[in-house]
Each structure stands twice: as C-alpha cells, then as structure tokens.
Amino acid sequence: MRDRAVLPPARDEVGVTPVQPAAPSPEYETELRTLLAARDWDALREFTRRHNQIPDDIYVQEQHFWEVLLHKLTCSRIDLLGLHDDSRGWLERHGYTTDLGGT
C-alpha cells in the first residue's frame, strides 16, 4: 500500500482567504422588512430577483413557495418579533417549521 499525501482543508491553504459577504445596506434591510411586514409574497419575489439574482427556476415557483419563504424569513428576524406568532401559526397550519433550512 502506498502512502497518500494528506492535504489541508481548502480554508487552510496558503494564500486563500475566505470571502465574507458584505453586510446588506440599510436600504436593502428597510425594503425587505417592509415587504415582509406587509405580507407581500409577490414583492418578495421581485425583491429577490432584483437584489439576489435568483435563478429562473426559483423565480417561477408558485405563490405557496413564496408565502412559505416570507413566513420563514419573518420568523428569522428580530425586528419583526411582533409578527412571529402569526407567521409561526401560518407555517404550522401548512405543515412547516420556522427552520430556514428545512420543511
């Protein structure tokens, strides 16, 4: 059996600096908070298209997809704490959790 070289994980490679995404602008945050508070799933879809360059196969998802995302995002934001109970209830009634990474 031959020995194999052990390589360090990519993040430890010399000369490789992890890229940290830039913090969203105050305008971005305000627009997102406003459309989430308004419960406007269509505005959320357009917002993500404009600011996050989402692929076409996500953009064309049906209303239900965007409503789920809207309520999950609402539950993840401390600045929308007053809407958490309503969004949590909506998600539970439709068989979802508040977890952004799952159902």
Look up the pTM and report it: 0.76
DSSP three-state, residue 2: coil
Instruction: Taking residues 66-90, report their average pLDDT.
Output: 96
Give the pLDDT score at 103: 66
* Residue at token pair 């309520």: 71
pLDDT at residue 101, as a whole number:
76
Q: How many CB atoms are located within 10 Å of the residue 24 CB? A: 12
Quote the tokens at residue 101: 């990474």
Q: What is the pLDDT of residues 10-65, one digit of tens each?
A: 555 566 666 777 788 999 999 999 999 999 999 999 999 999 888 999 999 999 99
In this predicted structure, what is the pLDDT of residue 6? 53
What are the boundaries of each domain within the chain? 39-95
State yes or no: pLDDT of 85 exceeds 50: yes
